[in-house]
Structure 1
Amino acid sequence: MKKTQQNGSRGRPDFLLLILTLLLVGFGLVMVFSASSNIALVSSKFNNDAFYFTKRQLAWAVLGIFSMLFMMNLPYQIFKRGFLLLFIPVLIMLMVVPFTEPVNGARSWFQIGSLGIQPTEPAKLAIILYLGALISKKGEKFRDFKKGLVPVLVIVAIICGLIMAQPDLGSCMVLASSAIIMIIAGGANLKQVAVAGGVAGIGVAILAAIGMATNPDGWEYRIARFTAYSDPLADQQGSGFQLVSSLQALGHGGFTGAGFGESVQKLHYLDYPYNDFIFSVIAEELGFIGASLFLLFYLLFLWRALIVALRCPDQYGTIVGVGIVGLFGIQAFINVGGVTGAIPLTGVTLPFVSYGGSSLLVCLMCIGVLLSISREANKQDKPERTKRSHS
């Protein structure tokens, strides 16, 4: 009897979310290979190894899955008390990274040998856990603008300011949007949120202006991306080259696709086809049908993650869960919207699919938090199911 009680102390994780996540990661590995194999094969920089990027991504995936399982087996309430263990190191890294050597005009990476660490990625999880703890702790006081909303906005503004200093406008937009979703989920007054959003927009504009003045080289490339969005054909060989190449990939894919591994635009036309532009490769090789099915699958994944978040028995878990779903959804929207020309390109990756170890690791850690939440929700449901089975 005692053994049964111990085993029933926590519910089962949401297996549907787990399976959808693993399928998404597996698909990402396949597409990373397709998008990167030719580039890696012809370059001595990558040891002329067609599997160079795939092997590295696989290693991060294995580490991420173990991290996911570890966090899944922790009661998610522990993150409410221990968020500073992640938040403080991330804050320090964000303060230091603007002084590192620039890569592609941005100081966003810590380079340790051949290993690159992007502190913006763990910052996304850290700020979600921090805001979840802060909002739920305030309770009804959170509806008070000065005592509730302002302290939260100050934290978000500080983190966004540090990210803009790199500069990384795309990640700043993702993090700020996720924070707004969490604030709304926490019960904030929508009018106050709108006013705060307007102030935040002005703040971002000011930070961008300061960044342009202090780091013109870093911002020149990003400004060119925005101008190319309005008319990419005006400078096809310059600022519009990447967007035009991406649109050509979509067109070449047609309805049924060119076939797996048959992308043309990944052959030194698209910069980082295995990263920012991996959806372009998906659409070119799998066509409109394949790309649409992929997006439908992604929506199914987001829907299931949202269901898990909303079933959480307490406010903290719900706010954190909704923040994680918002993070995935917004980042995917910005990535797909950028490469299809719907919105300006920002260099944001496609979660779980694009190449990038830091991103994949943090995404899987986020899933670990959601699975921990699902275990608590299933624990709450278990007595009711047991009662019905004995009636």
Structure 2
Amino acid sequence: MNLVIVESPAKGHTIEKYLGKDFKVAASFGHVRNLPKKELGVEVDKDFEAKYIIMPKSRKTITYLKSQLEKADKLYIATDFDREGEAIGWHIVQALRLGQSKKRYSKNQKNAIAKIFRITFHEITKTAILEAVKNPRDIDMNLVNAQQARRILDRLVGYKLSPFLWAKVAKGLSAGRVQSVALRLIVQREREIDKFVPTEYWSVEATLSKKGQKDQNFKAILIEADGKPFGELEIKTAKQAKQILVELAGAKYQVAAIKQEKKPQYPFPPFTTSTLQQDGYYKLKFSAKKTMKLAQDLYEAGYITYMRTDSTNLSWLAINSMRKYISANFGEKYLPAKPRVYKSKKAFIQEAHEAIRPTYVSNEKLKIKNEK
């Protein structure tokens, strides 16, 4: 039997459908280890060594995973493909006390696990899962250490600065690696706003229509008067604006020229995590938390690719699938000669991911319980 460990039962259920009877999929229910709550948990003088403990909520889970491991010949860690997922996988291995050796043994020493396999995928589809199982790798300690560095910094900043805030400012306040810096930026911006001195200015706009066609009008903005551009005109008071209106009231107007130009309208780039959250708010009034929860559900059900990404890249397999769908359903005239490729401005670790997209462009309806 091959044991596959993922974070959530929903994700596990979807993956299990694509694997054969030789595979058992179990969930860790997220992180299984963390720094202790009642102490710093970081040995600063010992190269920032972290003291991890198995979380109380995870003790039964670890016991269950150990019991399943005793029946297994191979262990596959299939947590999410990012820093956090890599760290969760590493913590699972440590909690199961398998260490980092090349040979793993279960408690009764009867079943030797030849290797711990790390498998990753951008989407939960049959093709992606089977391809991942065919091409496993080791746990990437660079990703694990990147996550640990963030976690340790969170603990050091929060544990050291929060008590200072309680003593000097007010009880219940908290400091954080990200929130404290963000708060400073907000304060700086607010101070700039407070210093701003508003200046009164006016603009003049006319609603005009062609003679004999009063039902068809258009608007024109005053940009020049007596040879002076609007910038130099400087209508600073209501009195000045009214005087200009009096002068313009009896004037005759004519269209001096008509200029037409074509402006190409480009499609928006594929979704990243941040643009997905922004659209979730602007179009649906969803909070970032709600958007990510729904995206997580869709990902685990196999409907979209991984939802935590900074990348606007799309796989060529996905692009070709979309092009075939457009050609078959809308016609060749809607199919561009070449696919549009978006380049990200910065390269992050998450750049290895694809953008967020539907796994199958042909899906027109969700087949999950919480469809809404």
Greater relative contact order: 1 or 2 (C-alpha under 8 angstroms, separation 6 or more)? 1
Same fold (TM over 0.5): no
| TM-score normalized by the length of structure 1 | 0.23
Which structure has the larger Rg over C-alpha atoms? 2
Higher share in strand: 2
What is the TM-score with the length of structure 2 in the denominator?
0.24
Select the structure that is richer in helix. Answer: 1
